[in-house]
Homo-oligomer: A and B are copies of this chain.
């Protein structure tokens, strides 16, 4: 659709700002969508120009997942709210074993937000979607008054197709199963925090934000009987393990020394009084599989760039109370409880 001729002057993407008319449904909104969103996201579904996208799906099982993204700051080492909104929802879809199919994106913009920043975010979102091979097929834009929002919030919703014979769910962990992770924990949370507090660590810690569906496709091909997959985002590894233990009605034993943590993250956590097990990740997954498939799964994960530092970190045990115990680096045992209270607000 080339509708530029409708508008007297092009959007000023250098110095312009979002104003209330960009959300009013009229000419200004049409211009914002045409010149900023469609330019970046161009695909056959958006070009349908309707309030909904139409596409064919193979028969079978679908999954659907949605996530609001309110990360602050909007730009951080290793990503921004645009790429994060794509990775976060692709990962939630993929953790069922599904192949992500399409994404929808809705934006809540604050009046006065620079169009240049919005263009940068939409370009990043478009690039992340392209790299993942998943199109943004439909979207929406609303504007709220200055002081009623915070720059931009993005909700992405994804759907995906679950392959035949795959049954991955948080309630499938069984005593004897092995627990794996695909790499270092805590990178995303510390990357955000270091920006926010202007901490100026010697090493710039990058967010691990990444789309994991390619890694998961390899894992499923090698070990179709993976029992659980979940991404340890808000609440970190500790909270995710507790969720899975609760949902499956089992306990877990993990070994602190086997959990990969970068030295810089470990040092930052020590300085800030944080436990890396509770710090958010955006490119990590916890996998649980039968013990006799664990070595195969580990080798498959390590063969993928997003799993090079994968490790076996513990086992599922019998425990109807669903406790997660950690063997500490000093040989003791401690309970790894749910995150209580608030550690790092607006991390994703």
**A62, closest chain B residue (CB):** B57
Indicate if the CB atoms of B345 and A20 lie closer than 8 Å.
yes
Q: Is A63 an interface residue (CB 8 A)?
A: yes
Indicate if the CB atoms of A230 and B51 lie closer than 8 Å.
yes
**A321, closest chain B residue (CB):** B5
> Of B57, B66, B96, B143, which one neighbours A54 at CB under 8 angstroms?
B96
The segment out of A75-83, A265-273, A308-316, A336-344 that lies at the interface is A336-344
The segment out of A35-43, A122-130, A146-154, A198-206 that lies at the interface is A146-154
Give the distance to chain B from A240, nearest Cβ to Cβ, in Å: 9
> Of B68, B169, B344, which one neighbours A142 at CB under 8 angstroms?
B68
**Per-residue contact bits, chain A 222-259, to B (CB 8 Å; 1 contact, 0 not):** 00000000110111100100010011000000000000
The segment out of A25-33, A178-186, A211-219, A299-307 that lies at the interface is A25-33
Q: Is A53 an interface residue (CB 8 A)?
A: yes
> Of B24, B25, B170, B341, which one neighbours A24 at CB under 8 angstroms?
B341
**Per-residue contact bits, chain A 49-67, to B (CB 8 Å; 1 contact, 0 not):** 1111111111111111111
With an 8 Å Cβ cutoff, the count of chain A residues facing the other chain is 91
Q: Is A93 an interface residue (CB 8 A)?
A: yes
Question: Quick one: given A104-B157, A149-B150, are A25 and B239 in contact (CB under 8 Å)?
Answer: yes
Give the distance to chain B from A260, nearest Cβ to Cβ, in Å: 21
Contacts of A53 in B (CB 8 A): 63-65
Give the distance to chain B from A332, nearest Cβ to Cβ, in Å: 24
Looking at A25, A137, A141, A239, the one whose CB has the most chain B CB atoms below 10 A away is A25
> Of B20, B28, B30, B65, which one neighbours A51 at CB under 8 angstroms?
B65
A69 CA / B143 CA spacing, docked (Å) = 10
Report how many copies the assembly holds: 2
**A58, closest chain B residue (CB):** B59
Q: Is A106 an interface residue (CB 8 A)?
A: yes
Indicate if the CB atoms of B340 and A27 lie closer than 8 Å.
yes
Looking at A28, A230, A280, the one whose CB has the most chain B CB atoms below 10 A away is A28
A77 CA / B274 CA spacing, docked (Å) = 48
Contacts of A67 in B (CB 8 A): 106, 140
Q: Is A333 an interface residue (CB 8 A)?
A: no
Q: Is A138 an interface residue (CB 8 A)?
A: yes
Q: Is A117 an interface residue (CB 8 A)?
A: no
Q: Is A328 an interface residue (CB 8 A)?
A: no
**A339, closest chain B residue (CB):** B26
Q: Is A15 an interface residue (CB 8 A)?
A: no
Q: Is A92 an interface residue (CB 8 A)?
A: yes
Indicate if the CB atoms of A50 and B96 lie closer than 8 Å.
yes
A280 CA / B24 CA spacing, docked (Å) = 10
11 contacts between A and B (CB under 8 A): A27-B339, A29-B234, A50-B95, A56-B60, A64-B138, A66-B138, A68-B108, A148-B150, A149-B149, A155-B155, A157-B157
Which residues in A have some Cβ–Cβ distance to B below 8 Å? 1, 3, 6, 19-21, 23-30, 48-70, 92-93, 95-96, 98, 102, 104-108, 137-145, 147-150, 153, 155, 157, 159-160, 162, 169-171, 230-231, 233-236, 239, 243, 246-247, 278, 280, 338-346
9 further contact pairs, Cβ within 8 A, besides A52-B96, A53-B64, A56-B62: A26-B234, A50-B169, A58-B59, A64-B159, A66-B155, A66-B157, A67-B140, A68-B107, A157-B157
